[in-house]
Amino acid sequence: MTFIWNELRDLRDAVDLGTPPRDGQPVTLSIDGVDTTVPARSSVLLAATIAGATVPKLCATDTLECFGSCRVCLVEIDGRRGYPASCTTPVESGMVVRTTSEQLVKLRRGVVELYLSDYPDSDIDGGWSQFHTTLAQVGLEEGLPADHPYRGGDTHADVPVDESNPYFLFDPAKCIVCSRCVRACEEIQGTFALTIAGRGFSSQVSPSQGESFLASECVSCGACVQACPSDALIEKSLFPEGYHRADPR
Amino acid sequence: MPIPVKPDRSVTTTCAYCGVGCGFKAETVEGRVVRMIPWKEGKANHGHSCIKGRFAFDYYQHPDRITTPMIRKNVDDPWQEVDWDTAFAYAAGEFKRIQAEHGTTSVGAVSSSRCTNEEIFLMQKFARVALRNNNIDNCSRICHSPTQFGLSATLGAGAASQHFDSILQSDVVLVVGANPTEGHPVFGSMMKRAVRRGARLLVIDPRRTETVDSPHCRAEVHLALRPGTNVLVLNSVAHVIVRERLYNEAFVRARCDGDDFELWMDLVGDDRYSPDVVGPEAGLDPDDIRRLARIYAGGPNSTIYYGLGVTEHSQGSTGVMCLGNLTMATGMVGREGVGVNPLRGQGNVQGGSCLGSWPHMLTGYRFVTDDVVRGSFEDEWKITLDSEPGLRLPNMFDAAVTGSFKAIYIQGEDPIQSDPNRHHVEAALRSMECVVVQDLYLSETAKLAHVFFPGSSSLEKDGTFTNAERRVSMVRKVIEPLGGLADWQITVGFMNAMGYECHYDHPSEVLDEIARTSPAYSGMSFDKIEALGSVQWPCNTDAPEGTEVLHTVTFPRGKGSFMLTGYLPTSERATDQYPLLLTTGRILSQYNVGTQTRRTANVAWHDDDVLEISADDAAGRGLSSGDRATITSRYGSTELTVSISERVNPGVVYTTFHFAHTMVNNLTSDLDDWATNCPEYKVTAVDVVRASIAQPVAGS
Amino acid sequence: MSFIETERLVTMANQIADFFAPYPSARRIEGVRNHLRNYWDPRMRQALYDHIDATGGPELRPHVLEAVAVLREAAPATEAKKAYAGPPRD
Amino acid sequence: MTTNVYVPCDAIALALGADDVATAIADQAAARALDVRVIRNGSRGLFWLDPLVEVDIDGVRHGYGPVEADDVASLFEAGFLGGAAHPLSLGPVESIPEFAAQTRLTFARHGVVDPRSLDDFVTHGGFAGLRRALTLSPDELLVEIETSGLRGRGGAAFPTGIKWRTVANAVATPKYIVANGDEGDSGTFADRMIFEGDPFCLLEGMAIAARAVGATHGVIYIRSEYPHSIATTQAAIDAARSAGWLGAAIAGSELSFDVEIRVGAGAYICGEETSMLESIEGKRGTVRFKPPLPALEGLYGKPTVVNNILTFASVPWIVANGGAAYAAYGVGRSKGTLGVQLAGNVARGALIEVPFGITVRELVERFGAGTRSGRPVRAVQVGGPLGAYFDNAGLDVALDYEAISDAGGLLGHGGMVVFDESVDMATQARFAMEFCAAESCGKCTPCRVGSTRGVELIDRISAGTRREANHEQLLELCDVLEHGSLCALGGLTPYPVRSALRLFPGDFGLVTDVAQ
């Protein structure tokens, strides 16, 4: 008999499988030429991670159901058009997957450049979040070049920091709108306090109906902070001198 | 530049707040704890957390923290700071003097469920080998002692039958007198996950709690019963199951005592417990009782989770038995997704129960009156043990008031705030000649103490905790004890000063001693827990990696025993003078009597206890939300701010008990459970009146 | 002065007796007896005996008196080897 | 004898004063004591003639248009009830060249019947498809659809038969039929025409789908901007239900199927099928990743047929006449007919139903009669706001999914927006990015951030700021949008942008004087 909770128990501290582990019949597929066997219902991202491939990811994490919004875990699959997101693509027997190629490198870099075009320069150097790891994986650890055409555009740098919660703060300037916090609030905590308000470029994490974190339905379980890959939701205790944004250029 | 500091060290440990026992990674920068990260591999929490474990850890370095031992001859004297040896020698001298003057049994001890298994074990060992009596109790006396009694009597094991994850296999979840989303939030989230996956939720609780109705989680049936009618209503549920033949005859025949089953059917099948009779008495729609009974019995996999709303009654143990009976009658025990599970309060309250910190029991729930059991400990400890039961904590206070009990060693408890009838406890402590308190802060109780041992927080020591699902997890030292000694070292120091020599280099040696003397723990060791992450007892040669689900083949007591759970109304009744029934509970952001959480930023959410009252009752008293009101019971009175709430029915008022200054236990009665003396916190007849408004001073 | 206030002891004993009231007579008495034996400090039991000896215990339930009688007849400590788990068999 | 006079009641006709015309006709008839019945029909789709008043003379519909209320008296005076000549006289409507040249299958009843009249619908062949469907097994029915070669008319052109068979084979229940009427593409209005001109046809198509796949519930998602559509369709649903064509045991068969309307909340992205399902479920309209396909896990996670309004409306004719009859029209893999919508700077805006294979030029020049301004056609955007631009030289491409795709475009929902020489294509490219930025659900990053960057880059190019670097970045951004986006909104936005850059570089200042 298969138990649902076995999946939760397969979570490992040292590795983020990208999508939740699954129970299921073994399925063998090829990842970068290596035959890899994972349970059915697993994602290609999970299989690639188990195969040892380093697929950059931002919105995907193994404690949350896949979402497919960040578009950096793209791969190539024989017989499939385009570049499917590995997190939302279930494995199939005999599938042939490539996790890297010239085009994939370029595409991922192109996507991450878009993230960087709306992330504060002052928070790149010395950062150690998952976002910073992803930057290094796509070769953008230095941030966006000084003369990049994306510079000078609209950003969220002026949106105020929400420091209402005594324990953590939300800095919209660093939010990459991956919805991990929203999903953690729904799937893990079950409180449904967070949502994404607005559309398009204006999309922003919002507690309840545009309230502050403290005033909202948020119960401060910390699941959103834990889920945030980009230091946008972060413990205040990691800023012993207080949280001060760099002066805008 | 807002780059976060990067922790330089990470230690995996177990949260001490509630009975869920979440795994955390404590991260430090230069020896200072900067954050607690929920541990993905923690089997109780799978990487989830709540506000308390995740954020409210700063209490450990609050300015109120006392880090030097102190003594004084008289409670009116100023404290005198001393070194550890002086403190031990003074306390031991007083205890020995008192025993010489008033007898061996005139002293006792109470252990803390905030301490590790090893420390609790050492406390009961202290009482038995250093005090040479059985006057040892633990704080589950005032919360879950009825669980131990009631589940032992029916099923044979006073602990949860399941592991938490098992709820994901349940089709029906029955929550009785518990509010997991506030009290056990990480389990509450798991319960909500089960409901979102399609499990049907049933709730029996006087209040419309968050558990009853929250986003994507709504109870299909909620029995908002009148406080004090648990046994009546549960018998009515059983009545429906018996009358409609919804019971599992095959299970009962194979697994339970048939004669007792017949007696039980006669009892609950009587018209006395018909929903049509019970409904009006308990303030319920009879059809709701029937619906709940049918859904529960229908399963196919139905599970029960319950809390202090069941136990803290004069029929607390009887209420627990009702639940045990229901699981047996319907065959809802002994596999995944079913069972009966107490939601334990404090981090190690299950450990407190398991480790022999009882006046009548040694570790593993074995009677001190049993010569064979006692003999095994006598062999281990090389000492003769008292063969008679000792005093329970309330009885220690009772005996103190009459002058028969003179000294107590209290580890990490604050009975003045947490125990019923504050005046009685205060009088008891004042009558004692030596009160030794071991705590982080000068608690309300420490104000009446003669010796203060500065305790260590759970961040400052190694050991193990046992959570509400019988899971034994590692507590690891993240920082050095601020007072210089871990709690286990303090108890050993006191023990040595009392003249019983023993020595441990590390708490792992204590767990080895527990394993040698306790069958359910016989397979446990630090090395094994380290290797497996955590282990659920029983862990022995039959189950070397522990046991997730109990009662799969037989019950520990052999045949399951249906107990006869006749309903007796509590003598605490609403009258013209005290027309409302006060019930108590807790809120998410505060923990128990608030000793720790009040010393964190959690006060941002809840900085005072408030009185929830229905709009009807408020209107009749001219009260609005925000008004101050005086609450008076037969035992005392206090003042609280009023909040008009739809969560309580007319006739019922509710408050939390997290703040010392609100003194809610001024109100509570000294009624208690017939079997265990667990206080009846959940029913107190009160009246509420508008507090007299201070006149503004003219011209000011 | 009693070890614990008599009123409190009487209340506790009667509560125990009330629980066992639905059982057949022999088990009812045995249940109360076992509970007093296994859960009560001997000084509490003695205080109850003293009270009964002094007053006859008129406020006590009849089967408390019967249980106490059984309890006082038995040898003091060694017979109660079996762990308490509900009322005994007939 | 009563004379039937038809005055259209769809949104375009109403905007052009059809209600006043209808009132004037009734008033004049009363004043003259003439026995006239004014019937509100749907539009014939020849908008330059709207309001097109038709008089039924011995079963032949004679047209007068465009009629304004002020014209009505003169029409009566001229004796239009008898078909007399008048400056607005058009002769028999079905002989109007632009009408006669069409192949009306899906829109056969359109403009002919009163959209709210079930009797009218049945009299004109309504429910013939459903009646036949009830005599076929679900498998036989699926074979008919597969044989017809019908492809989804919403834009993706996925074979309808394959989609339906996937749902039919799915085990889970209940199954749903969802009709996507969130017609948000600029220059498109065919769905609205069905809602307002022949809604029973949509209901019939959905019921046939339900029969084919075993569905029991249907949802019609209509954008809130279409109040007349909502009203007309609701009236049709009520009428069909009263007459037993919806609900339990339809037409005495074992088919039970009912339909409800859900009104959108103004988000373009809710036209994307998965966003629409989220919206119907009461959630924020954001795109779901696929798989799972909606065919297997659609509405409320259950197997769901999601098709465009036009797709469902095409089905009754196919089932009534046989899949092979439908497949006889068209070219290559583009079978049957398409309701093309001509808009923009066009002389004769219209809905034109023609078989696949006709060229875009023929549609624009023959049916559309060139630009409204009279200046030469400079560009035509085919397939809505995310479709590619074709320059005048490129207009000979055939109306054919594959041919248009090969030419770097997409046929989409069949909308064509015409521009004359005055158009600035840099502005149009910017509009495409701006449209994407305005309508992005915000879920995936290429669309959420990239569309805003796209607007900024085009602005800098147009302003002459670091033109080459920004141009290069814009092309790279188009690659990221096309290959990296979660759904077609971001994925297709590069189409108009790239085609504008490729065909009209001068508008961006990207070619030197030499080329001009």
Tens digits of residue pLDDT in D96-144:
999 999 999 999 999 999 999 999 999 999 999 999 999 999 999 999 9
Q: What's residue D513's pLDDT?
A: 43
Q: What is the ipTM of this complex?
A: 0.90
Give how far A219 is from chain B: nearest CA, Å: 7
Q: How does strand D330-331 pair with strand D334-335? A: antiparallel
Nearest CB among B156, B360, B399 relative to C85 is that of B156
Nearest CB among A83, A90, A154 relative to D452 is that of A154
pLDDT digits 0-9 by tens, D167-222: 999 999 899 999 999 998 888 999 999 999 999 999 999 999 999 999 999 999 99
How far, in Å, CA of D100 to CA of D108, rounded?
12
- Between positions 256 and 315 of D, the ones with CB within 8 A of A are 267, 269, 284, 286, 289-291
Question: Within a 10 A sphere around the Cβ of B246, how many other Cβ atoms?
Answer: 16
- Between positions 114 and 133 of A, the ones with CB within 8 A of B are 122-123, 125-128
Q: What's residue B1's pLDDT?
A: 62
**CB of A218 less than 8 A from some CB of D:** no
Are D295 and D349 members of one domain?
no
Q: What is the mean pLDDT of residues C39-58?
A: 93
- Per-residue tokens: B83: 């070194």
Are D320 and D335 members of one domain?
no
- For D378, list phi and psi in degrees, rounded to 5: -100, -35
How far, in Å, CA of B263 to CA of B253, rounded?
14
Hey, which residues does B642 pair with through a beta bridge?
Answer: B611
Does residue B142 surpass a pLDDT of 90? no
Does B674 contact C77 at a Cβ distance shorter than 8 Å? no
Does residue B601 surpass a pLDDT of 70? yes
Does C39 contact B360 at a Cβ distance shorter than 8 Å? yes
- Per-residue tokens: D103: 């192949």
Does residue A34 surpass a pLDDT of 70? yes
How far, in Å, CA of A193 to CA of C45, rounded?
57
DSSP state letters, D155-212: TT--BHHHHHHHHHH---SS-EEEEEE---STT--HHHHHHHH-HHHHHHHHHHHHHH
Give how far B645 is from chain A: nearest CA, Å: 17
Provide the pLDDT confidence category of residue C82 given band limits of 50, 70 and 90. Answer: very low
Determine the structural domain holding residue D432 and report its residue range: 425-515
- Would the CA dihedral through D110, D116, D118, D123 be positive or negative? negative
Name every residue whose Cβ is closer than 8 Å to that of residue D490 and which is 6 or more positions away in sequence. Answer: D436, D440, D444, D446, D447, D450, D451, D481, D484
Q: Is residue D111 a part of any domain in this protein?
A: no
Q: What's residue C1's pLDDT?
A: 59
Lowest mean pLDDT among A1-10, A204-213, B133-142: A1-10
Q: What is the mean pLDDT of residues A199-215?
A: 90
Residue type at position B81:
E
Helix ranges, C1-90 (H)? 6-20, 25-39, 42-55, 62-73
- Per-residue tokens: D365: 């020049």
Provide the pLDDT confidence category of residue C78 given band limits of 50, 70 and 90. Answer: very low
Q: What percent of chain A has pLDDT over 70?
A: 97
pLDDT digits 0-9 by tens, D367-408: 999 999 999 999 999 998 999 999 999 999 999 999 999 999
Question: Within a 10 A sphere around the Cβ of B9, how many other Cβ atoms?
Answer: 15
Q: What's residue B215's pLDDT?
A: 87
Does residue B696 surpass a pLDDT of 70? no
Q: What's residue B134's pLDDT?
A: 95
Q: D457 to chain A: which residues are within 8 Å by CB? A: 149
Chain B residues with at least one Cβ partner in C under 8 Å: 105, 152-154, 156, 263, 267, 314, 317-318, 359-360, 365-367, 369-372, 387-391, 395, 398-399, 401-404, 557, 561, 563-564, 566, 568, 674-675, 677
How far, in Å, CA of D114 to CA of D137, rounded?
32
**CB of A83 less than 8 A from some CB of D:** yes
- DSSP reduced 3-state for B555: strand
Q: What's residue D515's pLDDT?
A: 43
Determine the Cα angle at B149 with ends B147 and B152, to 5°: 95
| CA distances from residue B199 to B173, B290, D166, D324 in whole angstroms, order as listed | 7, 19, 30, 50
Q: What is the mean pLDDT of residues D17-24?
A: 96
Nearest CB among B166, B185, B216 relative to A221 is that of B185
pLDDT digits 0-9 by tens, D466-502: 999 999 999 999 999 999 999 889 999 999 999 999 9
Does residue B588 surpass a pLDDT of 80? no
- Detail the DSSP E strand segments found in B57-176: 70-71, 80-81, 107-111, 136-138, 172-176
Helix ranges, D214-329 (H)? 227-242, 273-280, 309-321, 323-327
Are D339 and D209 members of one domain?
no
Mutation to test the D interface, candidates A201, A202, A204, A230, most D Cβ within 10 Å: A201
Q: How does strand B534-536 pair with strand B471-475? A: antiparallel
**CB of A145 less than 8 A from some CB of D:** no
Q: Is residue D94 a part of any domain in this protein?
A: yes
Provide the pLDDT confidence category of residue B598 given band limits of 50, 70 and 90. Answer: confident
Angle B507-517/B117-125 helices, nearest 10 degrees?
70
Does B4 contact A128 at a Cβ distance shorter than 8 Å? yes
How far, in Å, CA of B549 to CA of B508, rounded?
26
Q: What's residue B694's pLDDT?
A: 45
Q: A90 to chain D: which residues are within 8 Å by CB? A: 291
Give how far B370 is from chain C: nearest CA, Å: 4
Q: Is residue D366 a part of any domain in this protein?
A: yes
Does C15 contact B674 at a Cβ distance shorter than 8 Å? yes
**CB of C39 less than 8 A from some CB of B:** yes
CA closest to C18 among chain B residues: B568
- Per-residue tokens: B156: 């044979």
**CB of C23 less than 8 A from some CB of B:** yes
CA closest to D472 among chain A residues: A149
Q: What's residue B45's pLDDT?
A: 94
SS3 content of chain D, % helix, strand, coil (to 5): 45, 15, 35
Q: What is the mean pLDDT of residues B101-107?
A: 95
Q: Is residue D277 a part of any domain in this protein?
A: yes
- DSSP reduced 3-state for B142: helix
Give the residue from B668, B649, B647, B669 showing the smallest Cα distance to B657: B668
**Cβ burial, residue D10 (10 Å; 0-12/13-18/19+):** buried
Does residue C88 surpass a pLDDT of 60? no
Q: What's residue B8's pLDDT?
A: 95
How far, in Å, CA of D137 to CA of B541, rounded?
64
- For B148, list phi and psi in degrees, rounded to 5: -60, -40
Name every residue whose Cβ is closer than 8 Å to that of residue D117 and which is 6 or more positions away in sequence. Answer: D239
User: Do residues A190 and A177 make contact, with C-beta atoms less than 8 angstroms apart?
Assistant: no
Q: Is residue D387 a part of any domain in this protein?
A: yes
- For B371, list phi and psi in degrees, rounded to 5: -60, -40
Give the residue from A175, A139, A176 showing the smallest Cα distance to A56: A139
Q: B1 to chain A: which residues are within 8 Å by CB? A: 122-123, 125-126, 246
Q: What is the mean pLDDT of residues B35-60?
A: 93
Are D496 and D432 members of one domain?
yes
User: Do residues D114 and D200 make contact, with C-beta atoms less than 8 angstroms apart?
Assistant: no
How far, in Å, CA of B414 to CA of B425, rounded?
10
Does C38 contact B389 at a Cβ distance shorter than 8 Å? yes
pLDDT digits 0-9 by tens, B557-579: 889 999 999 999 998 888 999 99
Give the residue from B320, B316, B308, B318 showing the smallest Cα distance to B161: B320
Q: C4 to chain B: which residues are within 8 Å by CB? A: 395, 398-399, 402, 404
Q: Any idea which residue has 């400890």 for tokens?
A: B381
List of chains touching D (3+ CB pairs within 8 A): A
Are D282 and D406 members of one domain?
no
Please say whether the structural domain B580-690 has been given the CATH code 3.90.1150.10.
no
Helix ranges, A117-152 (H)? 130-137
| Total tally of structural domains belonging to chain A | 1
Domain ranges of chain C: 6-73
Q: What's residue B604's pLDDT?
A: 81
Mutation to test the D interface, candidates A19, A44, A69, A204, most D Cβ within 10 Å: A69
CA dihedral D428→D434→D440→D442, nearest 10 degrees, is 150
Does B189 contact A168 at a Cβ distance shorter than 8 Å? no
CA closest to B337 among chain A residues: A3
Please say whether the structural domain B9-61 has been given the CATH code 3.90.1150.10.
no
Give how far C12 is from chain B: nearest CA, Å: 6
Q: A238 to chain B: which residues are within 8 Å by CB? A: 4-5, 34-35
How far, in Å, CA of D230 to CA of D228, rounded?
5
**CATH at residue A180:** 3.30.70.20
Question: Within a 10 A sphere around the Cβ of D513, how many other Cβ atoms?
Answer: 6
CA closest to B399 among chain C residues: C4
Same topology for domains B70-143+348-536 and B161-342, yes or no?
no
DSSP state letters, B636-692: -EEEEEEEE-SSB-TTEEEEE---GGG-GGGT--S-B-TTT--B-TT-EEEEEEEPP
Q: What's residue B700's pLDDT?
A: 38
Does residue B233 surpass a pLDDT of 50? yes
Are D188 and D309 members of one domain?
yes
More confident residue, D265 or B32: B32
Q: Is residue D113 a part of any domain in this protein?
A: no
Are D410 and D300 members of one domain?
no
Provide the pLDDT confidence category of residue D516 given band limits of 50, 70 and 90. Answer: very low
pLDDT digits 0-9 by tens, D161-173: 999 999 999 999 8
CA closest to A167 among chain B residues: B55
Task: Report yes or no on chains A and D touching (3+ CB pairs under 8 A).
Answer: yes
**CB of D450 less than 8 A from some CB of A:** yes
Domain ranges of chain B: 9-61, 70-143+348-536, 161-342, 580-690
Query: Which CATH number is associated with domain B70-143+348-536?
Result: 3.40.50.740
Nearest CB among A107, A118, A195 relative to D480 is that of A107
Q: What's residue D116's pLDDT?
A: 96
Q: What percent of chain D has pLDDT over 70?
A: 99
List of chains touching C (3+ CB pairs within 8 A): B
Q: Is residue A75 a part of any domain in this protein?
A: no
pLDDT digits 0-9 by tens, B415-468: 888 887 788 899 999 999 999 999 999 998 999 999 999 999 999 999 999 999
Q: D483 to chain A: which residues are within 8 Å by CB? A: 74, 82-83, 103, 107
How far, in Å, CA of B544 to CA of B528, rounded?
9
Are D20 and D129 members of one domain?
no
Q: What's residue A247's pLDDT?
A: 65
Give how far A238 is from chain B: nearest CA, Å: 5
Are D178 and D295 members of one domain?
yes
CA closest to B52 among chain A residues: A221
Q: Is residue A29 a part of any domain in this protein?
A: no
Q: What is the mean pLDDT of residues B609-633?
A: 92
Does residue B661 surpass a pLDDT of 80? no
Mean per-residue pLDDT of chain B: 92
Name every residue whose Cβ is closer than 8 Å to that of residue B413 and which is 6 or more positions away in sequence. Answer: B110, B112, B139, B445
Question: Within a 10 A sphere around the Cβ of B317, how many other Cβ atoms?
Answer: 28
User: Do residues B205 and B179 make contact, with C-beta atoms less than 8 angstroms apart?
Assistant: yes
Q: A195 to chain D: which residues are within 8 Å by CB? A: 284
pLDDT digits 0-9 by tens, C5-19: 899 999 999 999 999
Does residue A43 surpass a pLDDT of 80? yes
Residue type at position A24:
G
Q: Is the peptide bond before D292 cis (omega within 30 degrees of 0)?
A: yes
More confident residue, B145 or B1: B145
Q: A190 to chain B: which residues are within 8 Å by CB? A: 188-189, 192-193, 196, 214-217
**CB of A242 less than 8 A from some CB of B:** no
How far, in Å, CA of D372 to CA of B652, rounded?
77
Q: What's residue C89's pLDDT?
A: 40
How far, in Å, CA of B248 to CA of D240, rounded?
51
How far, in Å, CA of D223 to CA of D229, rounded?
9
pLDDT digits 0-9 by tens, D247-280: 999 999 999 999 999 998 878 888 889 999 999 9
Name every residue whose Cβ is closer than 8 Å to that of residue C28 and which is 6 or more positions away in sequence. Answer: C17, C20, C21, C63, C87
- DSSP reduced 3-state for D384: coil
Say which DSSP state C1 is in: -
**CB of A162 less than 8 A from some CB of B:** no
Mean per-residue pLDDT of chain D: 94
**CB of A15 less than 8 A from some CB of B:** no
Lowest mean pLDDT among B199-208, B483-492, C26-35: C26-35
Does A115 contact D445 at a Cβ distance shorter than 8 Å? yes
Does B51 contact A234 at a Cβ distance shorter than 8 Å? no
Are D271 and D350 members of one domain?
no
Q: What is the mean pLDDT of residues D220-239?
A: 96
Q: Is residue D455 a part of any domain in this protein?
A: yes
Provide the pLDDT confidence category of residue A248 given band limits of 50, 70 and 90. Answer: low
Give the residue from B118, B121, B216 showing the smallest Cα distance to B475: B118
